[in-house]
Each structure stands twice: as structure tokens, then as C-alpha cells.
Amino acid sequence: MARIGVFVCHCGENIARTVNCAKVAEEAAKMPGVVYALDYKYMCSDPGQEIILKAIKEHRLTSVVVAACSPHMHEKTFRGTASRGGLNPYMCEQANIREHCSWVHESIPEGTDKAIDIVRTLVAKVMRDQPLDVIKVPVTKRCMVIGGGIAGIQAALDVAAAGYEVVLVERQASIGGHMSQLSETFPTLDCSQCILTPRMVEVAQHPKIKLYTFSEVEAVSGYVGNFKVKIRRKARYVKEEVCIRCGLCTQKCPAKKIPNEFNCGLDNRTAIHVPFPQAVPNIPRIDRENCTWFQKGKCGVCKKICPVNAVDYEMEDKIVEEDIGAIVVATGYELYDIAGNDPNGLYSGYGEYGKGKYADVIDGLQFERLASASGPTGGEIRRPSDGKEPKTIAFLACIGSRDNQKGISFCSNICCMYLAKHAMLYEHKVHGGKGYIFYMDIRSGGKSYDEFVRRAVEEDHVCYVRGRVSKVYKRGDKIVLRGTDTLLGRPIELEADMVVLATAVTPSPGVEKLAQMLGIPYDKYKFLSEAHPKLRPVETVTAGIYLAGCCQGPKDIPLTVAQASGAASKVLALLSRSELEREPTVAKVDETTCVACWCCYEVCPYNAIEKKEIRDRKGNLIKMVANVNRGLCQGCGLCAATCRSGSIDLAGFNDEQLMAEIEALAQVR
Amino acid sequence: MEILALNPPGSEKDIEAINARLETLDPDAAKSVETCYQCGKCTAGCPAADQMEFPPNQIIRLVQIGQVNVALKSVGIWRCVSCETCSTRCPQKVNIAGVMNTLRLMARERGIQPADREADMFHQAFLQNVRMFGRLFEPMLVGIYNMRSMHLFHDADKGPLLLSKGKLPLFPTSSDSARVRRLFKKALESK
């Protein structure tokens, strides 16, 4: 027979102002099963908890109801108290008479009546509580980082530095990401490659980091601490372990007219190529679509010339499997394609800015390549059409960003700063050149950022013009921009030699497929969603999966690195534990009544429902049933509510308990 | 509305000339009009802004984009009363009143007719007055300005009150007018 203790908290004045707590305790004492009831000023305080402990002992209580604030606030506290008193912590329930009662009512009689009702429901529930044990799951002490840009590199190095193994998966043939394409970085103007390449090399040489480049995550199963990941290692057609990186193949390859992706199409590369000289790993790969051997069956120059016979035309994609405990997603960004249209119809392109029509209208990344010492012009600013040095460049901010007409309402965060940097670099490199920046607002909130922008204006004489450009057209070999100076309220016109568009930052293509594989949500632009915008910025709602960098939203390098280190610290907190404890309030399937309709399988947001076979002794299949993976289940109860045959119950919230609560509420006072 | 070009040919020299004069006027102020970040505080505090088609911040903006010629033809530079509220309050330490002053000089040098003739008459009458007496003699300033501008009895009704309060002297008070005249001479010679 249950012996229930009810403890009513005043929460100072918070509850006592509108609830007569003594009356609530008095009424509670009369409820069936209650052997002891008491009110006290602060139940969560040390003396308050002592009262509960003492009562458990003296009155041999089997279960406890604490009528106080929300369980969000103090369920852990009071369950801890019950546990110290020798009770199973799940035999303690909290009745919320603050948020649900005293804070929303004004008069004492009203508040008191409702508080009594709330206590009655919880007494009815606690009477049917069963002791529950926490679920313990083991942890595989390895981390996978998806994406080898600066975010992925930072996260991988941080986790590896703590001594845990890291598997770094990169889709491209080299790690480094977009940061390796940048010339200088704001606000200090230090060379991007100079600060990045040592880190890339460190990743490659780190004994704890396993690097899979030119590879993609194919499938992910399992749950926090126990993921199983399949990785597709795409064929490079060059044996990584044999190649001595002599570079002969890339020199001799006759297919030389292929647009170079690393230089954003500003120059050409060969079919067998290394993405860029500082690539890690520095191993060539054959671009099948453009290779004469693969397309026409002739040539084979690279195979003939290779001194170590590393070229292998027969190579095939390989699938490798890895056991992983935690995952960091760092898939980065791509620039919005102004001329084209988003394949999913999310964004639409611009007709008015001439990108794709005029060779001298380029985007921000192309300008980075022009300004980079390792770029196609060796760092000299030359316009793509005729190689002349541009005497005037117009930089246009917010192309795509903050343009609802084009389907993007967000600010891309980095453009204000990189345009200031571009214009500054241009003024440094071209004497007598004049840079104009057409902007709507200058967003320079970072440390030393606004000073950087003012330096561009005051020391390097960059001319800022507030207002969007409306159209761009040719006049001779000049590009004419028609815009407005909203500070003057006058239309203006500028003849420029070159135009740089700061196009919007959008998530990497295909990231939604990965997100679906991992079971993590994303927003309408396909940026991955963090668990809480302020307090859990690197976690996802799926335990064991973390975010770093631009996959979560547009970010500059300092923010990306900070977030990557944040994600790494979360990974380390997880990997440093030998086993994980999880709430036992999870779903359970009654296999005798389950009819395998899979409604639960369809509704489960956490992929926690598995299809289980039941076989007889001879191995014949008797039936299929749903089975709950206790590691993945978050106890949301969707399956229990959906189950047609009533075969699923949620521990701690089973049908009997909930019906008892409703009956208690429905009692006539 | 006229479409303005950004920094038309030759505009750089104009900007340089203005910056150079700002430096001589007040070495502590901002070195260049580019320093202005267009917050608009000058216009917000200007007592004459409602009388200008280009208020102070837009005059500065015109100089920033090299459209000095448009600024020189504006009435704003003539209606500026040189109270210097703008310069005093500017968060970027731009000497806006100094720019206005410089633009008036440039207009005069280039023979550009002042866009507000009456404001110019007042300026002229004022200077003539100071040159003559070494300091301001109000009745004569009013008389000359009203005659030249053909507003003969403009503000005449305020005369008695000003007289009764002793704000309108009947005779010029003596001052070291010879020294002031020397100053005028020196200033004109240096031009």
C-alpha cells in the first residue's frame, strides 16, 4: 500500500501570495494514500530538503509529491532528495502550483482550489508510479568530423589534442575549404594560406587523425556514443600509398583546358590534377568527366609517365565502415549563384547585374583569387576580359542577401568586412585606383572590425556609397552602374572597369541529405539548426551530433574557429565518459499485441523505432514487431499516442497513470 | 533630377584643396572630409537646415563624391550662419563650418553667382561694416542691407524695442579700427 508524503512549497511569496498553502497541505492529507502533508517556505532550500528526508524516514513514505515550481526548475533537485532518502528517484513527482497556478491567478480562493486539484492529480499518478532505473549506454571513444574546412580542421585538432581518435571526412580532394582560397583575412590582413596550411599539415600528420579526402558519408545509423558510419571513398585513380608526388603526370596531361575550380574558373587546369599547390594530401586525382582516357579510351599519358606506377584506371569507389561516438558537422558554405537558379527553386538569380554576361563582373571568391599571391595573376589585380589593370572597381554588397525578392531574407554576415578588405587590398595594389562600395548598412560588429572599415575609408580612400545599384550595362569597355546615393537623395552613375558582387552565403549543396541521414533539423535555407540559439549553440537536438561553422549560418573565420572549439569541447565532455546515463522514461512495445502497422515507425522523430523479427526455434519468421532503441528514444510519446493497438507505453507516463490523473481532475469537489 | 557622376574628372583636386584648407583652419579637426560617416548630427543641430536644399551633411556628401560644383551652386553654403554648432558636435571631428566657409570662398574665386543673392548681400554688408568701424555697428548694417535688398522696412518694427533695451546703439562705439583694417588688408593680400 502506498504511503505518500505531500510537501507544499510557498516559494517565498511566489506561491503563497495567491495560494493558501496550509489549506492545500490540510486537504492533501485527506487524499487517499497520503499519510503525511506539510507546507514550508522554501522546499528547495537545505532545511526544506531535510524536512522531506526526515519525513521519508519517520513516516516510512513510499512516494513523494512536491507541490512547488515547474519540474523544469527543480525535478532533479527533489528526485535527488528522494534518492538520498532511500526511494527510487522516479517515485517522486512534482506538482506545478507556481507557473500553472499562482502566477496565473489573482485571488486566493481560486488559486487554492486549483492548487488542490493539481496536487490531487499528482497524488493519483504517484500512487501508480513504478521504480525505474536509468539506462546506461557505452561510448565509443572516437569522433567523426564531416567537412575539412577551417571549422572541421579546428574541431579535429582540438579533439585529437585531447588524445581521442578523429575521423575527418572531406568531400573534396584536399582539406582546407574556402579559407584556402582567400588572399588576406580581415581585420589584420594576415595571409590566409600562411595561417591555414600549417594546420592542414598538422591534420595530415597527426597520429590520432584518420583523414578521408575525396570521400562522402554514405549512411549513419546508431545513436549517441554508438554511431555506425559508412563512408564512400571515391576513386581518385591514383594510388595514395604509392604516389611520390613528383607532379610529372599533371605536367604532361594533354587535357589542359578545363576550368580550374580552385581559382573559380579564372584559369585552367589539367584532367589529372592537384587542386592547389599546398593541397593536403598533395596527391593528384583524375577528373573522369574531362579525361581523354575515360571519355575516348585513348591517351594514357599519365599512366605511362608515372615513375612508380601509381595511376590505376581500374580503381573503384570503396566503402569503409567506422564506429563513432560523436559527430561534428562542419560542411561549410557555397556562394549563391547570381546568374543561375537554385535547383530547388529556393532562390532566383539576378538579371540586372550582368554576371555571366560580362566577364568583368565577378564574385567575392573570384576577387580573392585575383588578389591572392597563389592565384592566376600572381596577386596582381587584372580584369578577366582583357587582363588590363582596372582603374575603378565597384564593389556591390548584399547581392542576394537581404533581398526577399530573390528569396533570401538573411544577412550574410561576412560581406561588409570582406568588401572593405577587398577595396583596401585593391587600393594597396593599384596606385591611383579608386574603389567604390555600394552598401545598405555597414555591419562591422566584431572586435576591431569597425576600425578596419574606417581605415579603408579614411586612410585608403575607399568611397562608400549608400544605396543599391539598380542596373549594370556596358559603355565601350567600361561598365556603367546606375544607382542612388540615399544620403543625398540623388540618382548617381559610375563608370567602372570591373564589378565585384558580394553574393550571399548559402549552405553547401546536398547538406539536407546529410541532415536527414543524421536526423538533425534545418531551416528553410537549409542551414542546420542548433538546439538553442543562445544556450546550446553548437549542439543539435540529436544527442551526440554537434555543429561548427557556416553549416549553421554565415560566419567569419574567428567565429567559425570559436564555434569549432566549442563543438570540440562538447565532444570531449561526451567521449571522456565511460558510459552515458539516459532518462528511463522511454517507450516500450508490448510484442504480444503489436501488429507491425509501423505507424510508430513513421511518426518517430528520432529514428528510435526499429523493425524486429521474431523467429521460432527453427529460425522461421513468426512475426515482425516494433522495437524501441532505448539509446535513441527521447520519450516524446508520439508513438504511444499513435499506436492503434495500444501496444506502446511510455515508462513513467503510462496509460494507467495518465487516466488516473484525468479521473482525479474530474472528481466533483 | 540630375544624375550625378561619382568623382567626375578633376574632382580630386577640389577635394584636396578643401582638405588642405581644413588643415590650416584647425589642425586638431579631422584631416579629410572622408572622415565623415554621415550620421547626420550636423544637420540635426543646424538652425538654418530647413532653409537649405542640401543641408550640411549633404553638402559634405557632395564633396565626398567629388560633386563640389553642385555644392558651390547650392543656396545651403550661403545660408550657413557660421554658428559652428555642427563642428562642435561632430563625433568624427569634421570641421563642417570650415567646409562651408571654404566652399563660399571657392564659389567667389570661380565667379559663381551666389545661389542666395540676399544672403550674399548680408555677408558683404557685414564685412564692410566691420572693416569700417572695427566692430559691428548694427543700425548701419540693417540700413545698408535693407536698402540693397530692397526690403526697406524689413524688421523695422523691432527697432523701438531694441532701442529701449539698449541693443541698438545710435553711434558706433570706438574700437581700434586701424588694426582691423590692417587685418583685412593682410588677409586680402595673402589671397
What is the tens place of the pLDDT at every residue in A170-210? 999 999 999 999 999 999 999 999 999 999 999 999 999 99
Contact A176, A279 (CB under 8 A): yes
Coil, strand or helix: which one is A155?
helix
What mean pLDDT comes out for the span A12-20? 95
**pLDDT for A338:** 76
The three cell numbers of residue A187 are 581585420
In angstroms, rounded to a whole number, what is the distance separating the alpha carbons of residues B61 and A463?
Answer: 11
Contact A31, A82 (CB under 8 A): no
In angstroms, rounded to a whole number, what is the distance separating the alpha carbons of residues A668 and A666?
Answer: 6
In angstroms, rounded to a whole number, what is the distance separating the alpha carbons of residues A554 and A413?
Answer: 6
Q: Hey, are the CB atoms on A488 and B4 less than 8 Å from each other?
A: yes
Is pLDDT of A372 > 70? Answer: yes
Contact A496, A390 (CB under 8 A): yes
Chain B touched by A456 (CB under 8 Å)? no
Contact A610, A176 (CB under 8 A): no
The three cell numbers of residue A261 are 575550380
The three cell numbers of residue A254 are 594533354
In angstroms, rounded to a whole number, what is the distance separating the alpha carbons of residues A65 and A75?
Answer: 11
CA-derived radius of gyration, chain A? 32
In angstroms, rounded to a whole number, what is the distance separating the alpha carbons of residues B97 and B116?
Answer: 18
What is the tens place of the pLDDT at every residue in A484-519? 999 999 999 999 999 999 999 999 999 999 999 999
Residue pointed to by grid coordinates 582539406: A175
The three cell numbers of residue A31 are 487524499
Q: Hey, are the CB atoms on A492 and B57 less than 8 Å from each other?
A: no
How far does the CA of residue A497 sit from the closest CA of chain B (Å)? Answer: 14
Burial of B157 per CB tally in 10 Å (0-12, 13-18, 19+):
exposed
| Residue A652 one-letter amino acid | G
Residue A273 to residues A176, A255, A276, A286, A412, Cα–Cα distance (Å):
16, 10, 8, 7, 32
In 3D space, the residue among A482, A498, A463, A396 whose CA is nearest the CA of residue B7 turns out to be A463
What mean pLDDT comes out for the span A286-300? 93
* pLDDT band of B2, cuts 50, 70, 90: confident
Domains, in order of start, for chain A:
4-127 (3.40.50), 142-234+317-332+508-575 (3.50.50.60), 248-305 (no CATH), 334-506 (3.50.50.60), 587-650 (3.30.70.3270)
Q: Which of A454, A487, A492 sits opposite B6 (nearest CB)?
A: A492
The three cell numbers of residue A265 are 574558373
**pLDDT for B171:** 84
Residues of chain B with Cβ-Cβ distance to A491 below 8 Å are 1, 3-4
Contact A215, A169 (CB under 8 A): yes
In angstroms, rounded to a whole number, what is the distance separating the alpha carbons of residues B20 and B8?
Answer: 20
**pLDDT for A5:** 96
**pLDDT for A422:** 97
Which 8-state DSSP code applies to residue A542? S
* pLDDT band of B173, cuts 50, 70, 90: confident
DSSP H/E element including A138: strand A135-138
In angstroms, rounded to a whole number, what is the distance separating the alpha carbons of residues B111 and A620?
Answer: 107
Is pLDDT of B1 > 80? Answer: no
Closest chain A residue to the Cα of B34, Cα to Cα = A458
Alpha helix locations (H) across B26-165?
A: 41-45, 56-64, 68-72, 76-79, 85-89, 96-109, 117-133, 138-148, 159-164
Q: Which of A436, A458, A490 sits opposite B32 (nearest CB)?
A: A458
Phi, psi of A650 (to 5 degrees): -105, 120
In angstroms, rounded to a whole number, what is the distance separating the alpha carbons of residues A343 and A393?
Answer: 31
What is the tens place of the pLDDT at every residue in A568-593? 999 999 999 999 988 899 999 999 99
Q: Is the dihedral angle over the CA atoms B85, B87, B92, B93 positive or is it negative?
A: negative
Chain B touched by A475 (CB under 8 Å)? no
The three cell numbers of residue A82 are 528522494
Is pLDDT of A301 > 70? Answer: yes
Q: Hey, are the CB atoms on B4 and A493 less than 8 Å from each other?
A: yes
Which 8-state DSSP code applies to residue A30? T
| Residue A585 one-letter amino acid | T
Residue A340 to residues A400, A415, A498, A551, A559, Cα–Cα distance (Å):
12, 20, 20, 22, 30
Burial of A15 per CB tally in 10 Å (0-12, 13-18, 19+):
buried
Chain A touched by B8 (CB under 8 Å)? no
**pLDDT for A414:** 97
**DSSP secondary structure string for all residues of A255-305:** ---EE-TTTTTSSEE-SEE-SSTT-SS---EE-GGG-HHHHHS---HHHHH
* pLDDT band of A346, cuts 50, 70, 90: low
Residue pointed to by grid coordinates 540615399: A486
In angstroms, rounded to a whole number, what is the distance separating the alpha carbons of residues A332 and A152?
Answer: 9
Burial of A545 per CB tally in 10 Å (0-12, 13-18, 19+):
buried
What is the tens place of the pLDDT at every residue in A74-91? 999 999 999 999 999 999
For chain A, the helix, strand and coil percentages under 3-state DSSP, each to the nearest 5: 30, 25, 45
| Residue A56 one-letter amino acid | I
Q: Are strands A165-169 and A209-212 parallel, antiparallel or unpaired?
A: parallel
Chain A touched by B38 (CB under 8 Å)? yes
Share of chain B above pLDDT 90, in %: 66
Contact A143, A225 (CB under 8 A): no
In angstroms, rounded to a whole number, what is the distance separating the alpha carbons of residues A387 and A382?
Answer: 5
Closest chain A residue to the Cα of B30, Cα to Cα = A458
**pLDDT for A128:** 94
Q: Which of A434, A461, A495 sits opposite B34 (nearest CB)?
A: A461
Q: Hey, are the CB atoms on B38 and A489 less than 8 Å from each other?
A: no
Residues of chain A with Cβ-Cβ distance to B1 below 8 Å are 490-491
What is the tens place of the pLDDT at every residue in A645-668? 999 999 999 999 999 999 999 886
Contact B32, A454 (CB under 8 A): no
How far does the CA of residue A603 sit from the closest CA of chain B (Å)? Answer: 55
Which 8-state DSSP code applies to residue A408? B
Share of chain A above pLDDT 70, in %: 98
Closest chain A residue to the Cα of B64, Cα to Cα = A463
Chosen from B1, B2, B4, B6 to mutate, greatest number of chain A CBs within 10 A: B6
Q: What is the pTM of this model?
A: 0.81
Is pLDDT of B168 > 90? Answer: no
In 3D space, the residue among A28, A329, A326, A292 whose CA is nearest the CA of residue A152 turns out to be A329
What mean pLDDT comes out for the span B25-41? 93
| Residue B88 one-letter amino acid | T
The three cell numbers of residue A304 are 605511362
Residues of chain B with Cβ-Cβ distance to A485 below 8 Å are 4, 61, 65
**DSSP secondary structure string for all residues of A597-613:** --HHHHH-TT--EEEEE
How far does the CA of residue A321 sit from the closest CA of chain B (Å)? Answer: 57
Chosen from B34, B57, B58, B94 to mutate, greatest number of chain A CBs within 10 A: B34
Residue B133 to residues A66, A148, B120, B128, Cα–Cα distance (Å):
93, 81, 20, 9
In 3D space, the residue among B70, B179, B107, B110 whose CA is nearest the CA of residue B123 turns out to be B107
Phi, psi of A158 (to 5 degrees): -65, -45
Residues in chain B: 191
What is the tens place of the pLDDT at every residue in A45-62? 999 999 999 999 999 999
Chain A touched by B34 (CB under 8 Å)? yes
Contact A381, A485 (CB under 8 A): no
Coil, strand or helix: which one is A181?
helix
Residue A643 to residues A526, A595, A635, Cα–Cα distance (Å):
32, 10, 14
Reply yes or no: is the peptide bond before residue A207 cis, omega within 30 of 0.
no
Residues in chain A: 669
What is the tens place of the pLDDT at every residue in A386-431? 999 999 999 999 998 998 888 889 999 999 999 999 999 999 999 9
